[in-house]
Amino acid sequence: MTSIRQRTLGLALLVFGISMLVIGFISYRYAAHEIEALYDASLAQDARLLEGLLQAPLPEETRGILINSLENALGSAARSSQRVAGYRADSQLGFQLWEGERLLLRSANAPEPPLADQPSGFTSQSIDEVEWRIYVHEVTHSTQRIVVSEREDVRGDIIRAVALRTLMPDLIGLPLLTILLWWSIGWGLAPLSRMAEQIRSRDPHNLQPLTLSPLPHELDTIAGALNRLLKRLRIMRVREKRFIADAAHELRTPLAVLDLHTQNALTAENPEDRREALNHLRGGVARATRLVTQLLTLARLEPEEESLPEYRTSHLLSEVRETLAKLSPLAAEHEQQLLLNADEQADWLMLEEPGAIETLVQNLVGNALQHSPHQSVISITLATTPQGFQLMVDDQGPGIPINERKKVVERFQRAGPSAGSGLGLSIVERLVTRHGGTLHLDDAPSGGLRVRIYLQRPREE
């Protein structure tokens, strides 16, 4: 692909060339018309000069001498013009003087056929395959007629010469204009070249903003967009490094525990000890899997400026019921009961990011099951409000002290000796924020923790 400089220069020259052709054509036609009028006026003026000479109050003898002198002068002009190169106009100008049907005077350059029968004024006639421009003038108070003629091809040559001379400066100036345009466009694009050179020479790991000043308005907009992109890349790199560091930190201990259980299983001397070590290993694998899942979920829910999640219409009560059905085996394993309280007739349609409600309920109910004792009841309550929906999860665990409730929504923040990875409530808080809701932690009536969530109802378009 050609450069902007070449494209701009080509477009400018194309526009200028077309403009020159149009202007040149108009100038040519205008010059031709004006020169035609000028030569016609010259023919008429020559005829009147001859008339003035012929009407001078002279004796007949003197008038005859004058006519002979004019004839000799015209003949001499014809002979001398043939010897002077480039003086073609005089050699093609002819005169005839008629009195009635009698030819009194004829120049050597005039057409040989008589032109006395031509009407007064300007006419064009082809004589011997040559086009002539003829002016016939009636002498005042006389029967004499003055016929002045001129070859049309001479006029055409002069018109073309004049038109070419008027266009010659443009033709000569076009290369100079091309050079000036090339330099001007290069000077105008110099800031863009400097920006490109700075970007090209930057270290791939350097995500600091571009520092170019001053910049034209157009490039300032591009530089601003590039700097915003670099800022998002820096944020994403920080998030990536933080995620890797957090994942390594959080997985180090579970993997060490798994390795310990594996060694115990390998060194066990009886089947009972081996089975117990394998059961511990299985539980450790399950916890590690849950931790990895939560880490990936949390990474996906990190706020991003460049994209917004796509939402779909879903039935809140159905989503919650299906998720609780998936968690029922886990509750049965701990001899716990899941109790759902909701009005079946209410309107439960909401806008949801795909999979958000399932992830939210899994984390809330999963935390409640983990922190509640055996044979306890986990209560899930759904209610509608004019502005949205309310979801409450009550457990019978130890709860969270008031002074620690603000910290537990931050990732890897734990409360109590039986705390998990510290990611569940952080994931819930991110999901609620993405759906324009709020999260509150209170004391449950049964003495445990109550997590209360408000979600907005879809706005009508």
**Highest mean pLDDT: which of 157-161, 205-209, 274-278?**
274-278
Topology classification of domain 217-300: Helix Hairpins (1.10.287)
* Architecture of the domain delimited by 4-168: 2-Layer Sandwich (3.30)
DSSP state of 57: -
Instruction: Give tens-digit pLDDT for 327-357.
Output: 888 788 778 899 999 988 888 888 887 878 8
Q: CATH 3.30.565.10 region(s) of the chain?
A: 312-456
Q: What percent of the chain has pLDDT above 70?
A: 75
Global confidence as pTM: 0.43
Long-range CB contacts (within 8 A, 24+) of 118-123: 118/147, 122/40, 122/43
Alpha-carbon dihedral angle through residues 151, 154, 160, 162, given to the nearest 10 degrees: -110
Confidence of residue 91 (pLDDT cuts 50, 70, 90): very low
Q: Give the residue, 300 or 204, on which the prediction is more confident.
A: 204
**Residue 170 three-state SS:** helix
Q: 416 — alpha (psi -120 to 50), left (phi > 0) or beta?
A: left
Determine the topology of domain 312-456 in CATH.
Heat Shock Protein 90 (3.30.565)
Whether the pLDDT of residue 5 is over 60: the answer is: yes
Q: In which residue ranges of the chain is CATH 1.10.287 found?
A: 217-300
